[in-house]
Amino acid sequence: MKQFLDFIPLVLFFGAYKFYDIYVATGVLMAATVLQMAAIYAIDKELKTMHKVTLALILVFGTLTLVLHDERFIKWKPTVLYTATALGLGIAMWGFKKNMLKVMIGAHLELPEAVWHKLCALWIGYALFMAVLNGTVAYWFTTDAWVNFKIWGYVFPIAFLVGQGIYLTPYLKEQAATQDKQGADKDTSHD
């Protein structure tokens, strides 16, 4: 259900752009994102930091787009978000020696420290790649091309997540085997 929620604002943005223009689409994106965050909050009883940042950026850049009637703001929002993500992860990891990926998802995943470090570095690299890619398309191409890139550009995060899954699979198997062994040990100790 939550994965479906992630696509609703994008689909509505794309539809509004195709039937109207970038300004109507921006308003639709803003409203849909507010509703999306309300739904996430209703389900989880909280909004994660990334949700809050995304909502704030969409509302700020969307408002600038509508008030100044300048489509560049909404087109550059993803570049700002990806750059902020890369900077936040990088400064935390190398400046404060704190791996924010581990902080955010470490309770659900046990990995060796070296793997956490490499995973965070991969996320930083991915975010920088996406920031540059979006910036390039936003600057050098038409708004039509940028909107199409936003739709078809979802191949990049999907490919990144699949690659990340492949990278983590050996560690997940080890973790599952350890948990199975611990469960079996508990079962035999009660006999």
- The structure tokens 């949700």 sit at 51
Query: pTM of the predicted model, to two decimals?
Result: 0.79
- Of 53 and 120, the structure prediction assigns the larger pLDDT to 120
Angle of the 72-90 helix axis to the 22-44 helix axis, nearest 10: 40
pLDDT of residue 111: 86
Rounded to the nearest angstrom, the gap between the alpha carbon of residue 38 and the centroid of all alpha carbons in its chain is 18
pLDDT of residue 162: 93
pLDDT greater than 80 at residue 184: no
For the stretch 126-139, pLDDT in tens is 999 999 999 999 99
Sequential DSSP letters for 37-71: HHHHHHHHSS--HHHHHHHHHHHHHHHHHHHHT-T
For the stretch 35-64, pLDDT in tens is 999 999 998 899 888 889 889 999 999 999
CA nearest 13: which of 32, 29, 2?
Answer: 29
